[in-house]
Amino acid sequence: MNKLILLSTAAILFFSVNSQAAGRRQINPEAKQFKYSTTIEKERPELNEETKRLIAAYRKNPTEANYSALRKQAEINYDKVVERKKAKLEELKKTARDSSKIEEMQIIVDEMLKDRENRINQTMSRFTDKRLRPNARQTTDGFLPVLGAAQNVSIAYTPVTNKEYATFINERGHKAPKDWQNGTYPASKANHPVIYVSYNDAVAYCDWLSNKDKTAVYRLPTEAEWELAAGHMPKDADMNCDGGKDTTPVDAYKQTLSASGAIDMWGNVWEWTSTKITAINGREKGQEVNAVKGGSWYSQRTSCRTEYRGEGRKPELSYNTVGFRVIREKLF
């Protein structure tokens, strides 16, 4: 009996201490990925003053020495982020109640280490782009410069909407998406991204735009261009994902800006690219497909990340989670 009393007392003390500890770990309602996190990351952090100084120095005098100094700073910045992610991983190993959270962070850390050179190169291409200026992320005509890409390349502010796609259908007599009734989209979804459009449908839409505007060529982005336009996805950014019920308007999360200033690049709908890949993720694994980027309303947040690669779809098929966004290439 005495042993039972002692064991019961120990158990009460154990649960009391752990309840107090749990009480101190307040759930953060703003944290999307890790609910106990005290760090909220809805936007990419502002560039530090040293980075700004080096960018200005390179723009004023684009010498090899100034380029090297700027790149070294970009590497320092990147490695600091990696160290923060590693620290978060170690914290999760001690505190996470669900092993999937540890696995997610491990994937992110491994990916950042593996992709280091490519991501620093992308950063440098943005830093040295002549179009980099304070208002570069504001649009006046629905398109924004893709910093780091060719100087005449810009990307649409939003994915193509049902309303925009309807104009194309009416002018070209193109087949309507299969979720439309009698060739018409639901009135409540005018500003939702168009879905059930194949890669071939998206190309036809781009060709239609090109024929209407003789000053530019319209096309789908390559995977590399899409990644440059998107940039880093903040871990707590607001978006439509994680098994949502349906698409949302393209401007429902307009406060979540990509590197280019475009919106709705993560979640809501996967976006077609012109890049051919052998899929290593998703339902088309092992097949030759077109890469899709950005995740959808149904995707896990980790699949929406810019650096998540290997997901693709068959170009001749259409899907309820895939839409597209247009690149405009101005003619000189």
pLDDT at 33: 65
Strands 153-156 and 143-145: antiparallel
Distance CA 317, CA 332 (A): 35
Instruction: State pTM to two decimals.
Output: 0.85
What residue segments make up the domains of the chain, in order of their start?
A: 26-127, 143-330
pLDDT at 249: 98
293: Cα within 13 Å, side-chain hemisphere: 28
Structural contact between residues 236 and 289, judged by C-beta atoms closer than 8 angstroms: no
Distance CA 193, CA 294 (A): 13
pLDDT at 80: 94
pLDDT at 39: 65
Tens of pLDDT, residues 121-172: 999 999 999 998 888 888 889 999 999 999 999 999 999 999 999 999 999 9
pLDDT at 43: 73
> Which residues does the chain have with pLDDT short of 70?
1-27, 29-30, 33-40
Distance CA 212, CA 118 (A): 36
Structural contact between residues 56 and 69, judged by C-beta atoms closer than 8 angstroms: no
Torsion of CA 77, 154, 319, 306, to 10 degrees: 0
pLDDT at 236: 84
Fold of 143-330: paralog of FGE (formylglycine-generating enzyme) (3.90.1580)
Distance CA 150, CA 159 (A): 21
pLDDT at 14: 36
Q: Cα separations (Å) of 73 from 89, 103, 117, 192, 315?
A: 25, 30, 14, 41, 41
- Between the two ends of the chain, the Cα-to-Cα distance in Å is 91
